[in-house]
Amino acid sequence: MLCVVQLGFPPKAAAFRAGWKDVGMNKSLKFKALLALSASSMAITGCSTTGGSNLPPAPSIPAQQQVSEEYIIGPLDQITIFVWRNPELGAKVQVRPDGRITTPLITDMPAAGKTATMLQQDIKLQLSQYINDPIVSVIVNEFAATNNQQVRIVGATEKPASIPFRADMTLLDAMIAVGGLSEYAAGNKARLVRFNKATGKSQEYALRINDLIRRGDSKSNVLLQPGDVIIIPESMF
């Protein structure tokens, strides 16, 4: 919402101003009166100090479950590999920092940058050299998500953090994960920075975290996306 500050005086205030000299009002009293009138004017115009566009509220119950982008395996992720009827060929492994894994009969296979479906197809192809028609399943057990698979919350929170994104994650979920706002947080001035793949640019959105957490305003709860950055400033007072 655009902040509109009316610096003029309403009719009664104009008359009051005109009479300052007549009543001999000193400079201190004039300044206090000006502050009071300016404050009332801002209250009437409904000023919002948070910049950026607004996001639509998150639905309390999604009308239709949406499938999010499939998770991309990254270094240090923990994965489990099952090979039907050949359990000795399966394994529970951690993706190495170089993005590769080693399992029985397979050495140094690249895993980072692939989805679980892609990795299981690659493992199946390798195992086909040793057994007939292997049936392979890959499950990602623990996530050490890359930045584009995380939501980062920085600024005036109890514990700023990067948390793995999950389907249907909302602003409220993220704030619970970081322990809420700090004592001096200006939650209603928070911003969400989101990269727009279509334009190749980042866009800012206004957030009202105080209204969400302290007033229970469900309209202030919004859906998050992988790679979102939530920035929460501190109050000046």
How far, in Å, CA of 72 to CA of 179, rounded?
27
How far, in Å, CA of 140 to CA of 25, rounded?
74
The Cα-based distances of 130 to 104, 125, 231 in angstroms read 11, 10, 53
Question: Do residues 176 and 163 touch, judged by C-beta distance below 8 A?
Answer: no
Tell me the backbone φ, ψ of residue 168, rounded to 5 degrees: 65, 25
CATH superfamily to which 53-65+147-232 belongs: Outer membrane lipoprotein wza domain like (3.10.560.10)
Q: Is residue 179 over pLDDT 70?
A: yes
How far, in Å, CA of 127 to CA of 105, rounded?
7
Domain boundaries, the chain: 11-45, 53-65+147-232, 78-142
Chain centroid to CA 214: 19
CATH number of the domain located at residue range(s) 78-142 in this protein = 3.30.1950.10
Per the prediction, the chain carries an average pLDDT of: 78
User: What DSSP state is assigned to residue 59?
Assistant: P
**pLDDT value at residue 116:** 92
Taking only the tens place, the pLDDT of each residue in 95-129 is: 998 899 999 999 999 998 899 999 999 999 999 99
Whole-model pTM?
Answer: 0.53
Q: Which of 15-29, 58-72, 207-221 has the lowest mean pLDDT?
A: 15-29
Residue 177: count of CB within 10 angstroms of its CB? 16
**pLDDT value at residue 91:** 95
